[in-house]
Structure 1
Amino acid sequence: MTADRHEALEHLRRLAAQLEAHSFRVRLETPAEPFPHLHVINPMVPARTEDVLAAHEEDGEWWFWLSWAGRLGHAGDVATVAERVVSVLHVIRR
């Protein structure tokens, strides 16, 4: 396992713990290619899901990203990133 892949997995595990604290279901996906990611499921509406990746920039800083390339926040701030994921998967009931 490369150092980058190992570090990405560590960041994703930290985020998974935060999301589980918000009662979201998470599954760490570790395919050989292209990237490990966290599959997040809203337990109230299981059709509401999102994949989150961890990747570093050229300057070495790690960030969390949505699957569609939306940057969520710095990997050092998992609490804020978890809140943003929760808001993305939030369902407004009418």
Structure 2
Amino acid sequence: MTAKRGEAVDHLRRLASQLEAHSFQVHLRSSHGPDPRLHVVNPMAPTMTEDVLATHDEDGEWWFWLSWAGRIGQAEDVATAAERVASVLHVIRR
């Protein structure tokens, strides 16, 4: 595993811990494809899923991204990133 890939996995693990604390199901996929990703599932609505990636910009700053290229926050601010993932996977009950 390259240093950059290892750092991405570390950031995703921190995000996974934060999301698990909010009752989301998470699965780190680090051996599939070129980039590690965190698969997140809303257990109250299992069809509500999202993949999150961690990548760095040209300045070396790490960011979390949704799979559809939506940047959700800096990797150092795990709480805010987790809130944004939760808002994407939120289900409104009627």
TM-score relative to the length of structure 2 = 0.97
Q: CA deviation at 1:31?
A: 2.6
1:58 aligns to what SS in structure 2? coil
Measured against aligned partners, the alpha-carbon deviations of 1:62-85 in whole angstroms (never above 9, x if no partner) come to: 000000000000000000000000
Alpha-carbon spacing, 1:42–1:7, altered in 2? closer, same or farther (3 Å): same
Query: What RMSD over aligned residues (CA atoms) do the two structures have, in Å?
Result: 0.7
Percent of matched pairs sharing the same residue: 73
Q: Deviations over 1:1-54 (max 9, x none)?
A: 100000000000000000000000000001352210000000000000000000
Task: Return 5+ residue gaps in structure 1 as ranges.
Answer: none
Q: Report how many aligned residue pairs link the two structures.
A: 94
Match of 2:50 in 1: 50
- Taking the aligned partners of 2:71 and 2:31, their CA distance within structure 1 comes to 21
Question: TM-score, normalized by length of structure 1?
Answer: 0.97
